Amino acid sequence: MPEKEKIIHSEYSELMQKSYIDYAMSVIVSRALPDIRDGLKPVQRRTLYDMYELGIRSDKPYRKSARIVGDTMGKYHPHGDSSIYDCLVVMAQDFKKEIPLVDGHGNFGTIEGDGAAAMRYTEARLSKITEEAFLADLDKDVVDFEPNFDETEKEPTVLPVRIPNFLVNGSDGIAVGMATSTPPHNLGEVIDAEIAYLNNPDITTEELMRYMPGPDFPTGGIIVNKDDLREIYETGTGKVRIRGRVTEEKAKNGHTNVVITEIPYTMIGSGIGKFLSDVAQLQETHVTSDIVDITNQSSKEGIRIVIELRKGADVENFKNLLYTKTRLEDTFGVNMLAIRGGKPETLNLKSILEESVRFQFEINRRKYTNLLGKEQKKREIQEGLIQACNIIDLIIEVIRGSKTRQQAKDCLTSGKVTGITFRSRESRVMAQNLSFTEAQADAILDMRLYRLIGLEIDQLTKEHEQTVANIFKYEDILEQRGSMEKVIEKDLLSYKKNYASERKTDIINAGPAVVVVKKEEPVDVYFVMDRFGYAKTIDQSTFDRNQETVLSENRYVIKIRNDAKVCLFTDTGLMHTVKVSDLPLGKLRDKGVPVDNVSNYSSKNETIILVVSQSDINLCRFLFVTKKAMMKIVSGGEFDVVKRTIQATSLQEGDSVMKVAILSDQVNVVLQTQKGYFIKFPMDQIPEKKKNAVGVRGMKLTEDDELEEVYFTKNLETTTIRYKDKDVDLNHLKLSSRDGRGTKIRV
């Protein structure tokens, strides 16, 4: 009989909450955030350890990246090959890391955003500094190991990294509800700062910044908010403003070339292409007219973007324009978030160095404890062999007189002589006094005869003296904090000497870039917008030569000053303004720009009903008519505003603006519905109201009917319209009062 099933009732919300928290913590701790001790995410740590296990050292041949990725995924990181290969690629890119941890061979991508070749084509091996500062001493029990995901392998919980890698190479990652973003720093400066903290744990952040003044980006550039860095290092969060490095060169034709040789760190990747596009857009949108040509001459030797300017251009003003209108000046958001003690925590500079120093003490304590144990075992063996050499004749007699190895070993360790044949009684008595340790006895029995040579005995004595010296040294390191500090400092200085490089990023204080805008001389132009919503301006001469074409091909054509604004009334009851200066001054066949791009108007959600020049708006009166027959007149002064978007009229739920008309000498208004009802009444029955009013009802609509068209008539003027293949003379319609049902036209 099967056991009776037990149904467990649980609250769905509680179950979901617990499951989500478990998932979030798994992503935070096991995927996205680095450990403060080694500055590595799990995928980075596992990839480096796998390369170490495979023996892909800096002095060995390169191995296929696919081999490394497959082995890492199969043994340690079962989360897909793309994440592992992406990690491998980034660790090999010198434009992203202060010290590349992997030596890549093949196409590992470029600073301009070109991706790396497929993993089957590229090869890699460990960098030398990775071997020396990240993976050394793994065989000395310096870190803990834990089972892998299927408990078939062991992997280190953290790598024994000897430098503050969290600061040196920086880190970025997005977890659940939090993200880390730490800029890279100069290796030599970080080591100097750590040594300063090591010697004085009470050192202030300001004093630390004398050794490590700020981030050092692999792409160089200039940090321009030096005064903000102290607060960033004290809180662990903030924003670093970076500018690219710009120089000037004289071209052969007398023009000036603005040359960009270093870019902000945030522009790595597709940012360079976007920058070139943005610079070209400055010329196309007439923000500047100084650009003659743009060329990207970047190569393996470095970044070189050349912008040729016209003669007489204000170079400094143009540089400031690049800083304000493109990403040549950008912001790097700092959030030094890492895993400390199994929990995510935002750390300041002192906390990071404190954790690094604490980790160095832990690594070295375990290392020298391990070395001390090995030296003590070695001393035990050496002392046993030296003692045995002094009584070698007795040892040989014991061995020759024993019937088994165990019998000889028992004699050497405890003086048991039972069953052993000796040549003399004195030898038996001496043998009974032997008291070697187990390890010494095994070493004596395994000793080869050549060790009895005089030179070998002298060598053994020297080795013993060295072993005793090592034991004294290791005990001193473990017992005296000052001795341990000297060891750590010595290691750090050796890494600085062998691997540190000059600072690439300058740090200064610079105010915001200010662009002096030259005011253009006000002239008359024509605003034109086609039925697809593309707008531009054309000059007077172009309009005069092509007047018929312009009027026939465009929905709106307005004569306006180039320093004025255009007002767009839409069916949603909004009015958007567009600066004429934001529109390109084009030729007849130029396409223009979508009006969405230069205003808050959205062609997806609203439709333009009327376009009018804001300079003329004060002289106008506007009639608003909605599909539900709500009407009002508004004075144009209501719309002479500075804001880019305002509410031009209030609407009832489900209603929309059907008509916005400029009033002049209209006498009567005619409303026509979709079902063919017409009503005609005098204009003076429509009240003038404020722009935020709904208005009054112009016509009573039948169910499921709405306004379709609005017409105007004047006295003694024939107005005939075409309605469903029938001519309708509006002057023959009965003049009634507003808010009637109207007359149905039979067709």
Q: State the catalytic residues.
A: 121
Which residues, in sequence order, are bridge partners of residue 302? 299
Residues 402, 412: Cα–Cα separation, whole Å: 11
Buried b (16+ CB within 10 A) or exposed e, 488-510: bbebbeebbeebbeebbbbbeee
Q: Where are the beta strands (DSSP E) in 183-255?
A: 222-223, 237-243, 245-250
* CB-based contact 632:652 (threshold 8 Å): no
Cα separation of the two ends of the chain: 84
Buried b (16+ CB within 10 A) or exposed e, 551-573: eeebebbbebebebbbbbbbbbb
Q: Which residues contact 274 (CB under 8 A, 6 or more apart)?
A: 327
Residues 692, 634: Cα–Cα separation, whole Å: 10
Residues 231, 261: Cα–Cα separation, whole Å: 30
* CB-based contact 258:292 (threshold 8 Å): no
* CB-based contact 351:167 (threshold 8 Å): no
Residues 506, 372: Cα–Cα separation, whole Å: 46
Residues 92, 107: Cα–Cα separation, whole Å: 10
Nearest to 582 by CA among 567, 562, 568: 562
- Residue 374 CB coordination number (10 Å): 14
451-455 long-range CB contacts below 8 Å, 24 or more apart?
A: 451/385, 451/389, 452/389, 452/392
Nearest to 194 by CA among 421, 402, 485: 485
Please report which helix (H) or strand (E) contains residue 107, including its range: none
Residues 438, 414: Cα–Cα separation, whole Å: 10
The token pair at 289 is 């007219």
